[in-house]
Chains A and B, each alone.
Chain A
Amino acid sequence: MFLQQFINGLSMGIMYALMAIGYSMVFGVLYFINFAHGSISMVGAYMTWYLLMIIDVGYPIAIIGGLLTAMFLGMIIEKVGYLPLRRAPRLSLLVVSLGFSFIIEISVQLIWGTEAQYMPPMIPINNYYIMNAKFNSLQIGVLFISFVLMVLLYLLIQKTKIGIVFRAVALDKDTSGLMGVNVNKVISLLFATGSIIGAISAIMVAVYYNSVYSTLGVSIGMKGFTAVILGGIGSIPGAVIGGIIIGILESLGGAYISTAYKDGIAFILLIIILLVRPAGLLGKEIEKEG
């Protein structure tokens, strides 16, 4: 029972973690929670479904199409909404991102309807057992893809030139600008990367639950930013750990306490962590805030 819930929680948590990375990357540079991130990722999942089930182009192209849609949407939103507000109070950015998330969600409902749509599994589902705990090939796929993605992201940020620029901009926008970094371009690139990772997470959630629906982005998005706070804001390893912890605790809480209050666990955790250790598990104190 425990092991079973642990496996379910882990595979859910790793998807939250991917979602959290997008929030964390944006927060690291612009110091606000991009509420539209969940919705952008949801559009990626919807586009994949649309290309796959309606246009019928096969999985690989559908996924690429979905990821590209999310990427461009993220970049456009950054250009239209956040670029003019670089020096504005952070609360205004928050309101703008909430506005975008309204617009995206309602547009998707208008275009594709409000009911959940069927998303077929990507790979044949086989069940495996470890000591009575069942897990299937989808869960292995999710864990594998997420792991590969995280390693790639780590390499990107730590080992490449783009990664150095990312870190420089996160550390100090003005100074890196003086050093010849095109800050706006880097932020745009950051949104592209974050949106792609978010869309991968949303597609995996859609495949995992066999359905895609317009509030998917908001529901995993909420868990995503909780994971960011838990792990330490602006810290990518923290976001990963936070996501996994939330996934596992939710799964265990759903099994041992009550399924009705399952969704509340993440929020109670959020409040506790902000009260006890506002910087999160791995984060450092945030000074630039307001």
Chain B
Amino acid sequence: MSYLRKYNGKIKLNYFQVGIGSIILTGLVLPLIIKNNYLIHLVFMSLLFGVLAVSLNFAIGYCGLANLAHGTFFGLGAYVTALLALNFSTPFYVNLILGGLFASIFGILLGIPTLRLKGVFLALVSIGFTQIIRIIQLNWVELTRGPMGLPGIPAAKILNFQFTIVAYCYYILFLLIITLTISWRIKNSKIGRAFFAIKIDPLAASSIGVNIVYYKILAYVISSFIAGSAGSIYAHYVSFISPDTFTLNDSITILSMVILGGAGTIFGPLIGAMFLVLIPELFRFVDLYRMIFIGSFMVVGVILNDGTPGDFLKLKLQNLKQQVSAYFSKGSESL
């Protein structure tokens, strides 16, 4: 994709439309033709993690904020939804918005104090943040029932139609499309340019008049809002959540989806998410092997990419080209 973007200005405009069109088509058709519920569940999960990875990309890929608390925002949205649905039986679309809002409040809470921090330090604070939220979830038993979790969250329904698994797929597909569109719109706007400027050099960005505070907080708000909304959908879908539903490991997995897929690209995180959701399913028979796979994928993938995704392949291609041309030139010499 980046190849196209680099060499042809016109294709740049089209590839998003082509990509999103094929995602919509696949997302609409796939749940209908698959009859196996478990496979539909996998479609749902890859779309869900796609939403999470694409939204984390706003913070990491666009703005350079090493946020390791994305799973926690997701969890906060899910908890708010669960509590609202259980105690006040609010409809699902209200929960979607309120879950997102609640998560984005925490996004601001994490964002404001950490404006000065970057890189590894920000990652550490966000880890601390996830642990504090987790400890609160575990110990505030009156509200969250602690480690027992919240069972029996009612399914989303419109009038009398209760959401089926296919309906949930469409629901999360809808959110994914919105997220990707936001991603596309941001990237090609003033906001996106400000984000990238902050990522590359905050000092230079501020000296040419980019309001760093505003844009950093904006990145947190957008990404945590979408994560919270995804959490809301997930809570309705699984009907049981506990502090173990979203651990630090999930945040790390989402982060590696973004890094492996390509931080800062539009469809990269989605592809990374599908990869890390679907491929480990081959190792489904033992859950532990799945984590080993994810771990090795993180190690091997990043090393191959040498940190900057795409570079490795580009380099290989260049080497190949050089070798091929060297081979031919040598051939012509000997002839």
Contact = CB atoms under 8 A, between A and B. Distances in A.
Interface of A: 31-33, 80-81, 84-85, 87-96, 98-103, 106-107, 109-110, 222, 225-226, 229, 258, 260-261, 263-264, 267-268, 270-271, 274-275, 278, 289-290
A106 B292 contact: yes
Interface in B278-327: 288-289, 291-292, 294-299, 302-303, 305-308
B330 interface: no
A96 B302 contact: yes
B128 A85 contact: no
B131 A102 contact: no
B204 interface: no
A32 B117 CA distance: 14
Contacts of A222: 127, 131
Contacts of A98: 252, 256, 295, 298
B291 A106 contact: yes
A8 to B, nearest CB: 21
A214 to B, nearest CB: 10
B124 interface: yes
Contacts of A80: 299
Contacts of B48: none
Contact of A289 (B119, B125, B299, B303): B119
B302 A267 contact: no
Q: Which 10 A-B pairs have the closest CB atoms?
A: A88-B307, A99-B298, A102-B295, A92-B307, A267-B128, A103-B295, A99-B299, A264-B135, A260-B139, A99-B295
B252 to A, nearest CB: 5
Contacts of B116: 275, 278
B93 interface: no
B132 interface: yes
Interface in B108-143: 113-114, 116-121, 123-125, 127-129, 131-132, 135-136, 138-139
A99 B297 contact: yes
A264 B120 CA distance: 20
Interface in B79-131: 113-114, 116-121, 123-125, 127-129, 131
Contacts of B113: 271, 275
Contact of A268 (B132, B252, B256): B132
Main secondary structure of the interface of A (DSSP, over half): helix
B114 A274 contact: yes
Contacts of B303: 81, 84-85, 96
Contacts of B296: 99, 103
A107 B288 CA distance: 8
A16 to B, nearest CB: 15
Q: By CB atoms of chain A within 10 A, which of B132, B138, B294, B299 has the most?
A: B299
A260 B144 CA distance: 15
Contact of B128 (A102, A106, A270): A270
A110 B306 CA distance: 30
Contacts of A264: 131-132, 135-136
B51 to A, nearest CB: 21
B298 A271 contact: no
B265 to A, nearest CB: 16
Nearest to B291: A106
A224 to B, nearest CB: 12
A196 to B, nearest CB: 23
21 contacts: A33-B123, A85-B302, A92-B307, A94-B66, A94-B120, A95-B298, A96-B298, A98-B256, A98-B295, A99-B298, A106-B289, A106-B291, A106-B295, A107-B292, A222-B127, A222-B131, A229-B124, A261-B139, A267-B129, A274-B125, A289-B118
Contacts of B131: 222, 263-264, 267
A127 B288 CA distance: 42
B291 A95 contact: no
B259 interface: yes
A274 B121 contact: yes
A143 to B, nearest CB: 28
Contacts of B302: 85, 88, 92, 95-96, 99
Interface in B243-269: 249, 252, 255-256, 259
A79 to B, nearest CB: 12
B119 A90 contact: yes
Given A264-B135, A271-B113, A33 B308 contact: no
Contacts of B139: 258, 260-261
A89 B120 contact: no
Given A92-B259, A274-B117, 19 more contacts: A31-B120, A32-B120, A81-B299, A84-B306, A91-B60, A91-B123, A95-B256, A99-B294, A100-B299, A102-B249, A106-B289, A110-B292, A267-B129, A267-B131, A267-B135, A268-B132, A270-B125, A274-B124, A278-B117
A91 B199 CA distance: 13
B124 A103 contact: no
A103 B132 contact: no
Contacts of A226: 128
B119 A95 contact: no
Given A270-B125, A270-B128, A290-B118, A99 B288 contact: no
Contacts of B129: 267, 271
